[in-house]
Chains A and B, each alone.
Chain A
Amino acid sequence: MSATESASLRLYWPAQRQRNRGAGGLLIVVAAFLALYAYLFPGLLSVGGVAKFSQSWLPLALVSMAQAILMLAGGVSLAIGAMVSLGAVIAATTMAGPLGVAGGSALVIVAGLGAGAACGVIVVRLGLPAIVVTLAASFIIGGGALLILPRPGGTIPAWLSDWLAGDTPVAALLVVLAVMFWKLYLATPLGLSLYAAGENPDAAYRAGVPVDAARIAAYAVSGLLSTCAGLFVAAKTGSGDPVIGEAFTLNSIAAAVLGGVGFLGGRGAMRGALAGSLLLSVMINVMYFLGFPPVAHYIAQGLIIIGAVALPEFTARRSSP
């Protein structure tokens, strides 16, 4: 027992270093952008500044985690945005009603887990391509959100909005909480199987890893994170909107890929995806702060994504022919 424990400790730090290796350049870029933002907007370094910034970051951080967990498991989801919308409309229609905040939150969680697991079962058990299944799922889930709330409306109890998106940095704590949950998840059998199932499913299966269960669980957790992001977005705006999540699909992929998470499964780490989402979020904030026109936002965002993806390629090519 102690022998395996020391062996796992000996393996732990090299594994961590391996996962950090790809993210080094990204972390420097993120730090530079954060420094620029703090220089332009000194208020960032106060409690209120951290609260406001983490509120704009949290939804993107959650959906990036949702996308990264799928990509680590060898999948991808184009239904993230629809899931966010679903979470937002469920929260906005139930929380002010007889179910209350607790019942509404439970519904959001169940909807996320259920819709995610359904996608997972179809992809994994029926052997259909993930891109196309989640594309079809985005229509179904988005349609469901439209049925629940055909046009923007609904209400979130004011105290919940104040608590989640007020002047206290609750959102920053939630990011920390999400990271802790991710670490815990990685310690469960399903989480342990995640990387193996994504990297080489055949080998993992022969080694006794529950490949199918790990991948379906990844889809369920991804759905959960997405609908929770929707809940937060609804709390931030105070109401629900059936199409509010649309932009999150592409941004979640962009953040995960910026963070070095690979499309083929088993490559990358959650810290990279979080750093990627932080970069996107800081970038958007800086451009708003500098008063860039929306045109420049899109153009700069496109260029920075390509640049950040291309950069490791150039450095890698120089070091290894």
Chain B
Amino acid sequence: MSSSEAVRFPKFRPRALLASRPFLTVLIVAAVWIAASVVKPGFGAFGHLRYLVELGAVVGLAAIGQTFVVIAGGIDLSVGAIITVSAVGAPLVSFAFDESGAFAALITLAAATVIGVLNGLGVAFLRAHPMIMTLAMATFLQGLLILLAGGSAISAQSPLLEWLGSARPGGVPAGVIVWAIASVLSLLALHATPFGAHVFALGANSLAATLSGVNVRATTVAVYAISGLTAGMTGLLLLGMNGQGYVGIGDPYLLSSIAAVVLGGTSILGGSGTYAGSIPGAVLLVTITALITVVNASPGWRSILFGSLILALLLISGRESRRR
């Protein structure tokens, strides 16, 4: 409890800053960037770092919803499937009057949110374990996807998606701008609203939260809805950056969203953490992936390196205090 209070009412103390997990993750990212650019000069170029942050926006957006769900004591294993559904589904929704593609994007986001709400209803009312509910949803969506796409890639042309994927107002990629706005909003929601306090209470002890008058069911549905919404946004951003959607496009982002949340210091057991940690967590993950690509190893070694680095980072920053 004291940790969430410290997040809500920050007092500046240098030692507290060093003990802060989000800050620690930022330090690790900075250290990796500096070390990598010393070893390989091209790595530290502004363009490359900007590209890394742009890739980080994709992971980071997916990690928003995952952070809410994990803090509330759940886990969302359908993130990858929802990303794929929105990336494959968005091109299928097009209307003649909708020239900018904004209406199609809105419908896609609404559909993604509805999927999240269904997850939340299953967890809150059917009392299905989050892992099994979202897993079943992912399986269900996989069937739906084959129905939608028939296994082929679908390309998308709309001004909005093109702007998302390639526009750089003021040198900042549009995806990063979207990520920044979404990050500020979610940080405010998590740390400065009653809803955020309810999410923490629910994750720390759902029974105590119920007895304290928190509407546990509504809060549960809301966090999964947020996860669905941000996964939908991730799908649209990916579609814009890739130009086409295909079955399986979202699969890598399930594991990265969870890893980003945990590397950022949010407890996988729920009840403590902050999205401020998931932001550097997402950038860190993307950086690791980029470094491994630079090494130019075989797929087997690349996979081993990725897993070992995540384990090593966990040892540095991810120790759970022993509690159940």
Contact = CB atoms under 8 A, between A and B. Distances in A.
Interface stretch (A23-31, A33-41, A46-54, A131-139): A131-139
A122 B311 CA distance: 9
A121 B307 CA distance: 16
Interface stretch (A171-179, A182-190, A227-235, A294-302): A294-302
Contact of A132 (B122, B137, B262): B262
Interface stretch (A92-100, A103-111, A305-313): A305-313
Interface in B268-314: 268-269, 298-308, 310-311, 314
Contacts of A144: 300, 304
B307 A136 contact: yes
B49 interface: no
Contacts, number: 151
Contacts of B268: 129, 131-132
Contacts of B322: 127
Query: Contact size class for A?
Result: 35 or more
Interface residues of B, number: 49
Nearest to B314: A128
A115 to B, nearest CB: 12
A296 B143 contact: yes
Main secondary structure of the interface of B (DSSP, over half): helix
A129 B318 contact: yes
A135 B133 contact: no
B99 interface: no
A126 B143 contact: no
A139 B289 CA distance: 13
Given A201-B324, A253-B131, A313 B126 contact: yes
A146 B131 CA distance: 28
Contact of B298 (A150, A264, A301): A150
A143 B318 CA distance: 23
A294 B269 CA distance: 35
B247 to A, nearest CB: 11
B96 interface: no
A140 B262 CA distance: 18
Contacts of B129: 257, 263, 309
A147 interface: yes
A140 B146 contact: no
Interface string B111-124: 00000000000100
A263 B299 CA distance: 33
A321 B304 CA distance: 50
Contact of B140 (A76, A150, A299): A299
Contacts of B300: 143-147, 150, 242
Contact of A254 (B132, B140, B142, B305): B132
Contacts of A126: 315, 319
B147 interface: yes
A127 B132 contact: no
A192 interface: no
Contacts of A309: 126, 128-129, 132-133, 136
Contact of B146 (A74, A294, A305): A294
A145 B304 CA distance: 10
B251 to A, nearest CB: 10
A133 to B, nearest CB: 7
Interface in A250-297: 250, 253-254, 257, 263-264, 294-297
A132 B318 contact: yes
B64 interface: no
B226 interface: no
Interface string B129-171: 1011101111111111011000000000000000000000000
Contacts of B122: 306, 310
A240 interface: no
Contacts of A59: none
A169 interface: no
Interface in B77-118: none
A140 B259 contact: no
B15 interface: no
A131 B129 CA distance: 15
B75 interface: yes
B304 A298 contact: no
A294 B315 contact: no
Contacts of A116: none
B258 interface: yes
A140 B127 CA distance: 34
B307 A137 contact: yes
A150 to B, nearest CB: 7
Contact of A128 (B141, B305, B308, B318): B318
Given A132-B310, A147-B298, 10 more contacts: A126-B315, A143-B300, A146-B300, A147-B300, A150-B298, A253-B132, A257-B129, A298-B144, A299-B144, A306-B126
Interface of B: 75, 122, 126-129, 131-133, 135-144, 146-147, 255, 258-259, 262, 267-269, 298-308, 310-311, 314-315, 318-322, 324
11 contacts: A129-B262, A135-B258, A138-B307, A142-B307, A143-B302, A201-B324, A295-B144, A295-B147, A298-B142, A302-B136, A302-B140
